[in-house]
């Protein structure tokens, strides 16, 4: 378990980070590994619970049962709908990683050629950042059987 029991928490921290998703996790890791003297204390607050392997829903009924709402404030998923956009949010240790299962796909060049993509941002400009993320995160490929013509493996 990563979470600390409430009784073991401090009354004061040098830094408090709200959210354990990508942004919060990176900020906390950078602060914790910084060469600062004295070493800062870092606390991450998340509005959901920590899930262990095997506790994630594997069926549609399980996912529906994990909707975060007034009767289920610790639900894993929250769906917000507006006239122009819908947003699926993760609620729990890991943030949105709970939704995308820590899967990050480097986009193909075609994504950057779409009419609505900002022309000032190119794959070539982002390449060093994808390379750095790959270096730091050390991802591994997981291949699942696929019968779709869109599959490339």
User: Rounded to 5 degrees, what are φ and ψ at 72?
Assistant: -140, 70
pLDDT exceeds cutoff 90 at 147: no
Q: Residue 21: which domain range?
A: 6-103
From residue 50, give the alpha-carbon distance in Å to each of 1, 91, 98, 114, 119: 8, 10, 10, 38, 40
pLDDT tens, residue by residue, 60-93: 888 889 999 999 999 998 889 999 999 888 888 8
Can you give the pLDDT at residue 127?
92
Q: Is residue 74 part of a domain?
A: yes
Please report how many Cα atoms fall inside a 13 Å half-sphere around the Cα of residue 25, on the Cβ side: 12
pLDDT exceeds cutoff 80 at 1: no
pLDDT tens, residue by residue, 90-129: 888 888 788 876 677 788 888 888 878 887 888 999 999 9
**Same domain membership, residue 117 and residue 44:** no
Q: Is residue 144 part of a domain?
A: no
Can you give the pLDDT at residue 26?
87
**Same domain membership, residue 57 and residue 111:** no
**Same domain membership, residue 92 and residue 68:** yes
Considering the entire predicted model, what is its pTM? 0.63
Domain count, the chain: 2
């Amino acid at each position: 378990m990563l979470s600390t029991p409430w009784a073991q928490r401090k009354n004061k921290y040098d830094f408090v980070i709200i959210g354990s998703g990508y942004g919060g996790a990176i900020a906390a890791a950078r602060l914790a590994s910084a060469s600062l003297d004295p070493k800062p204390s870092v606390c991450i607050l998340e509005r959901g619970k920590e899930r262990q392997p095997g506790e994630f829903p594997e069926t549609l009924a399980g996912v529906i049962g994990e909707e975060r709402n007034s009767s289920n404030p610790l639900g894993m998923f929250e769906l917000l709908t507006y006239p122009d956009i819908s947003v699926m949010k993760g609620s729990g240790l890991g943030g949105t990683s709970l939704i995308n299962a820590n899967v990050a796909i480097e986009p193909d060049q075609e994504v950057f050629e779409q009419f609505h993509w900002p022309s000032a941002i190119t794959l070539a400009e982002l390449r060093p950042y994808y390379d750095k993320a790959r270096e730091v995160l050390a991802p591994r490929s997981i291949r699942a059987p696929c019968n779709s013509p869109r599959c490339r493996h």
